[in-house]
Amino acid sequence: YQESQVNKLEITSDKTQIAAAGVGQIRIFDVNSNDTQPVNTYEGHTGNVSAIGFQKDTKWMFSGGEDGTVRVWDLRAPGCQRAYESRAAVNTVVLHPNQGELISGDQTGHIRVWDLTANACSCELVPEIGTAVRSLTVAMDGGMMVAANSHGTCYVWRMMRGATLTTHFEPMHKLRAHSTYILKCLISPDCQQLATTSSDKTVKLWNLDNNFQLDRTLVGHTRWVWDCVFSVDAAYLVTASSDATARLWDLSTGDAIRTYSGHHKPVVCCALNDSAIDGRDIDA
Within a domain: 1 = yes
Task: Name the domain count of the chain.
Answer: 1
Position 133 scores a pLDDT of 98
Position 76 scores a pLDDT of 87
Position 132 scores a pLDDT of 98
Within a domain: 21 = yes
Within a domain: 209 = no
Position 278 scores a pLDDT of 47
Q: Which residues of 94-128 are buried (b: 16+ CB within 10 A; e: fewer)?
A: bbbeeeebbbbbbbbbbbbbbbbeeeebbeebebe
Position 279 scores a pLDDT of 44
Within a domain: 121 = no
> Residue 3 belongs to what domain range?
1-85
Within a domain: 155 = no
Within a domain: 229 = no
Within a domain: 91 = no
Within a domain: 12 = yes
Burial of residue 187, with CB atoms counted within 10 A of its CB: 0-12 exposed, 13-18 middle, 19 or more buried:
buried
pLDDT per 10-residue tile (average), the chain, 284 residues: 85 95 96 92 96 96 98 90 96 96 98 96 96 98 97 97 76 97 98 98 97 97 98 97 97 96 94 69 56
